[in-house]
Amino acid sequence: MIKIEERLDQAQQEMNELTAMLEKLITAVPEQVSISENLNQEPFITPVFCNSHMGFRALFLVEAYDSLARKILLANHVGLLSRRDMEGFLDQGAHQLRSLFGLALTYRNTGKTLSRP
């Protein structure tokens, strides 16, 4: 569990760094050019149940990647990022999620519970 906690911290830090790099790129646009935020017209809504705080943190990481991906696609659409750079940014963010959830899959449920008297 400590490995998952550390991987969550690392993935969150990497996602924040990617977002900061992208924000820096977008804010470098001259103020005469207006770029509106890219919003979901029909967002996907589903109920989610997380059994631990790490599950909630992982869920927030998925949301952070969604937001990052929308910004990356917007930057590519307005010509701030090349296709290669866009794919690189998307791959870096997706790698964080895949490595986190891949690590979680290595743990198996033993079926044991903590019984308190």
How many angstroms separate the CA atoms of 4 and 99, rounded? 10
pLDDT at res. 106: 85
Instruction: Work out the pLDDT band at 8, boundaries 50, 70, 90.
Output: very high
Answer with the residue of higher pLDDT: 60 or 52: 60
Residue 60, domain extent: 52-103
Q: Whole-prediction pTM value?
A: 0.82
- Residue 112, pLDDT score: 75
- Give how many domains the chain has, as a whole number: 1
- In this structure, is residue 12 part of a structural domain? no
Residue 6 inside a domain? The answer is no
Q: Indicate whether 117 pLDDT > 70.
A: no
